[in-house]
Amino acid sequence: MPVSHSKTFFKDLASAAALERLLPKLVMAPTFVVTLVFIYGFIFWNAWLSFSSSRMLPRMDWAGFTQYVRLFSNDRWWVAAENLAIFGGLFIVLCMAIGLFLAILLDQQVRLEGAIRTVYLYPMALSFIVTGTAWKWLLNPGLGIEKLVRDLGFENFTFDWLVDPEKAIYTVVIAGVWQSSGFVMALFLAGLRGIDDTIIKAAQVDGASLPSIYWRIVIPSLRPVFFSALIILSHIAIKSFDLVMALTGGGPGYASDVPATFMYAFSFTRGQIGLGAASAMMMLAAVVAIIVPFLYSELRRGRNE
Amino acid sequence: MNKAVGRQHRAGRLFIYGCLLLVAVYYLVPLFVMIMTSLKPLDEIRTGSLLGLPLNPTLEAWRVAWGSACTGVSCEGLKGYFWNSVFMVVPAVVISTMIGAFNGYVLTQWRFRGSDVLFGALLLGCFIPFQVVLLPMARTLGFLGISGSVAGLVFVHVIYGVAFTTLFFRNFYVNIPRELTNAARIDGAGFWLIFFRIVLPLSPPIIVVSVIWQFTQIWNDFLFGVVYSAGNQQPITVALNNLVNTSTGVKQYNVDMAAAIIAALPTLVVYVVSGKYFVRGLTAGSVKG
Amino acid sequence: MHALKIENVYKSFGDTEVLKGINVAIEPGQFLILVGPSGCGKSTLLNIIAGLEAATSGHIYIGEREVTNLSPKDRDIAMVFQSYALYPNMSVRKNISFGLEIRKVPKAEQRETVQRVATMLQIEDLLDRKPSQLSGGQRQRVAMGRALARDPSIFLFDEPLSNLDAKLRVEMRAEMKELHQRIQSTVVYVTHDQIEAMTLGDLIAVMKDGIIQQFGPPQVIYNAPKNMFVAGFLGSPSMNFIPAVVEQTESGLGAFLEGGAGRIFIPLVHCTQALKAWVGKAVVLGIRPEQITHAPEHEGRIQIGVCRINRVELTGPDALVTTCLNKTDVIARVQPSSLCQVGETMALGFDTSMIVAFDPATEEAIV
């Protein structure tokens, strides 16, 4: 660079450098605003609605905990909460058990592993609406599995969970596990592949049998995978909406309602905006209780990188 | 290896393959039944076996599902809704992936004070149950004049998809050494030049992951679709649900199944064509419900 | 005119201050080494010179220009990185010409420069390869080529040899020295390797805790370290630090070293003026291993003492023997031919002309 440049030239260069330092922030600015308004602002707005007396139309007044009192004295809410507990518990346990089992089997140098994995995972590509529609047909008491088994000669076989208020929520479990267990398998398989081979070799040299190697060494070292699978599955469970809508529509009656369908029904079809907002806040609280420890550990891991 | 051990080993392999096969059947049966049912006429469905092959295969149900089935009040099949979904997915995927790429680039190569906090705050966007933003967003879309339209859905999907695409790109770009962008800065390249000449050429794998993930998520979405769209602007998932739950006349199971397959086809094709990237996306951003 | 002047540079990240008032100036053509243990702030300082990081306060001048607030591209510098940072999607040719292209140098001139640089570094055959197809040494050359092509007023090197294996590192070190002597460029070179620092530098700045501990030509720093840190950092094996008490004897100032096999008198001949104040007080004597050798052939200020040998390490050209003096392990560098067995005694000659005395409290040299 020639030395004869004027003072202003270097001033221009300096302000260009200042602009360059500003540019990354400018690029992030829209995302920052969106995050602030559409995530945090909306949560706040929704919280406000839940403390208002809004029904058909949102009203920005202060009604204290009225909506929460109404929510907690609403039978249908408790049915939904109980259903979420049943569905969530079974869904998580079954997905984990099946996923881990399949991952261990697939980890035994199986031929055609790629093809088998493809088959196990394809349900994850489907919309819950499609899954719900398919299982609704399979579980249809008149023409589905019930009829299939009866045609085989078991005349008295009944499988009418779909229309049984006591059992409807279990059909959601069946379809949910069908859709998500393959994914959990993929998580566990990735975890198994990440385990240091030499540890297993060392255990073999020590004379451990294959089952005890898995039980004593491999599975304990999958702890982080269990942890993230648990987080992901419970998250799916709390948010599950589509599947219930497509499979049972929350019915019969409201027997298979979950909080997500409850929130939708009260906010958008029954004109109880305040009550809907309150139920959404409860869902948020549940998710936060699960996610915050996870996020915390995730961020800490990121910092250590 | 002595004989006893050999036999034990063979029995073990048999057990493994037996289990794997049985489970594969469990996963495949619903798809098989869907396809078979969609190819059967209605009376054959009533009389025949659930698992039986169609005696007189016909594409009539597919034709009805595509062109003339009733979804609620209108009876024009799924075709209009299918295209709604296409027009919703394409811009939403392109825009959210682009923004995610820029964000990831800034968050890894141009970090500034507070950028980590911003990322943490954004990450929460991946986790919140969307129920908590449904009501405020409904008001906002009305205020912006795009409620009930495909444009409104694009807007919503971009807003809540950016958290995921940012996460993808950030986790990918964090592995690009800072020295690389520093070298380019010393070579005289600025913010955009470095992005387009150095970083973007390294990005195809993560772009594919992000596009596939966003495509399946947005195509398969039902919650935003059912809340924020109306009439002939609905996406295909909502239309499918309406079609299946329309209670007028005789239940046409074959049409239901054909419609379900039509709704599932785009994401299934993506999955079959790019399974590797699909799985990577699932495990990388495996938090969206 | 200085080629580079760093004035009062401070840098802190949040609450931690990593640079605490750096002042350095070098002339055109000089090879400056920033050396120190990891975390001493040397790389941060280099990044601040490059403009990749902003100083919290202070000024940087390159030539006559103040560049403190300029972006890297306007500072007329080139940099070679530890990881080489070659653009993975571009060929070697493109890597070298990228900076020229951005500066809108005409195509023909770009081609010419690439050719010239490639010839200079003997990488003509590699020009059409991608970085992933190169060995570590080849990548290193390409990284150098990229910097050379730009013909900047200052070259910045950030531990450029640390990723090479030992043999290649020695080769490249010699080559860089030769290259520098040929093109007479101004260089700032960061390393944690004291041998690189000694062999390459015209000037060395030894850094620790964000402060330049000593700045000067390599031999001066080696022979007259300002404090125990600098004394211990340069040289391998590092300087022996032996606690001792300064005494006034008939033959002048000195100190006694107690070994298992006898008492050795070490006359102190440097800075006697300052040391007078330390008579009767404890100091730390710094003696480099090569200043303690097998006894006979030496003359002059050699003090011979008989020591018990506790450990013997052969390095090839010479042997390191460990003895114990004033309850401290002391390493001596002797000829393998004059070695004795472990546990035996051996006569060692102490070259006392180079001994440095340190204040045990401040660890500063007593001058």
Nearby residues of A71 by Cβ (< 8 Å), 6 or more positions away: A77, A275, A278, A279, A282
User: CA nearest B121 in A: which residue?
Assistant: A35
Residue A239 and residue B235 in contact, taking contact as beta carbons nearer than 8 Å: no
Question: Which chain A residues are closer than 8 Å to B44 by Cβ?
Answer: none
A246-252 average pLDDT score: 79
Question: Which chain C residues are closer than 8 Å to A16 by Cβ?
Answer: 71, 74
User: H-type helices in C19-135, by residue range?
Assistant: 42-50, 92-102, 107-121
pLDDT range class, residue B281, cuts 50, 70, 90 = low
- pTM over 0.90? The answer is no
Between CA B258 and CA B266 the distance in angstroms is 14
Say if residue B146 is in the same domain as residue B15.
Answer: no
B185-214 average pLDDT score: 90
Residue with tokens 């506790």: C310
C270-290 average pLDDT score: 88
pLDDT range class, residue B282, cuts 50, 70, 90 = low
Of C235, C286, C233, C241, residue with least CA distance to C38 = C233
Question: Is B35 within the bounds of a domain?
Answer: yes
Question: What tokens were used for C117?
Answer: 């640089």
Residues 187-206 in B contacting C (C-alpha not used; CB under 8 Å): 187-190, 193, 197-198, 201-202
- Tell which CATH classification among 3.40.630.10, 3.40.50.150, 3.40.50.10610, 1.10.3720.10 matches the domain A74-304: 1.10.3720.10
Q: Does C77 touch chain B (CB under 8 A)?
A: yes
Q: Provide the number of structural domains found in chain B.
A: 2
pLDDT tens for A150-200 read 777 777 777 777 777 778 888 889 889 998 888 888 888 888 887 877 887
Query: Residue B243, CB half-sphere, CA atoms under 13 Å: how many?
Result: 36
Question: Which chain B residues are closer than 8 Å to C12 by Cβ?
Answer: none
Q: Residue A211 burial (CB < 10 Å; 0-12/13-18/19+)?
A: exposed
- Could you tell me the domains of chain C? 4-233 (3.40.50.300), 240-358 (2.40.50.140)
Question: What tokens were used for C177?
Answer: 């020295």
pLDDT tens for C121-160 read 889 999 999 999 999 889 999 999 999 998 899 999 999 9
Chain C contact probe: residue of B187, B192, B203 with most C CBs at under 10 A: B187
ipTM of the modeled complex: 0.84
What CA–CA distances, in Å, run from C109 to A47, A259, B116, C102, C149?
66, 70, 44, 13, 11
Q: Does B8 touch chain C (CB under 8 A)?
A: no
Q: Does A17 touch chain C (CB under 8 A)?
A: yes
What b-and-e string marks burial along A30-52, b requiring 16 or more CB atoms within 10 Å of the CB? ebbebbeebbebbbebbbbbbbb
Task: Sketch the domain layout of chain A as residue ranges.
Answer: 74-304
Question: Is B69 within the bounds of a domain?
Answer: no
Residue C197 and residue C191 in contact, taking contact as beta carbons nearer than 8 Å: yes
Query: Could C51 and A17 be called an inter-chain contact, meaning their C-beta atoms sit closer than 8 Å?
Result: yes
Chain A contact probe: residue of B135, B222, B243 with most A CBs at under 10 A: B135
Q: Residue B120 burial (CB < 10 Å; 0-12/13-18/19+)?
A: middle
Question: Is B289 within the bounds of a domain?
Answer: no
Nearest to A3 among C64, C69, C70 (CB): C64
Q: Residue B1 burial (CB < 10 Å; 0-12/13-18/19+)?
A: exposed
Question: Is B13 within the bounds of a domain?
Answer: yes
Q: Residue B157 burial (CB < 10 Å; 0-12/13-18/19+)?
A: buried
The sign one gets for the Cα dihedral C188, C194, C198, C204 is positive
User: CA nearest C149 in B: which residue?
Assistant: B187
Query: Could A14 and C69 be called an inter-chain contact, meaning their C-beta atoms sit closer than 8 Å?
Result: yes
Question: In which domain, by residue range, is B37 found?
Answer: 3-58
Question: What tokens were used for C237?
Answer: 């094996």
Say if residue B168 is in the same domain as residue B201.
Answer: yes
Say if residue B201 is in the same domain as residue B233.
Answer: yes
Tell me the residue type at B72.
Answer: G
Residue C78 and residue C63 in contact, taking contact as beta carbons nearer than 8 Å: no
Residue C331 and residue C237 in contact, taking contact as beta carbons nearer than 8 Å: yes
The enclosing domain of B216 has a CATH number of 1.10.3720.10
Query: Which of B262-271, C197-206, C342-351 shows the highest mean pLDDT?
Result: C197-206
Q: How far is B178 from chain C (nearest CA, A)?
A: 9
Task: Flag whether pLDDT at B287 surpasses 50.
Answer: no
Question: Is B65 within the bounds of a domain?
Answer: no
C75-79 average pLDDT score: 91
pLDDT range class, residue B66, cuts 50, 70, 90 = confident
Say if residue B38 is in the same domain as residue B90.
Answer: no
User: CA nearest B181 in C: which residue?
Assistant: C85
Query: Could A118 and B272 be called an inter-chain contact, meaning their C-beta atoms sit closer than 8 Å?
Result: yes
Say if residue B229 is in the same domain as residue B272.
Answer: yes
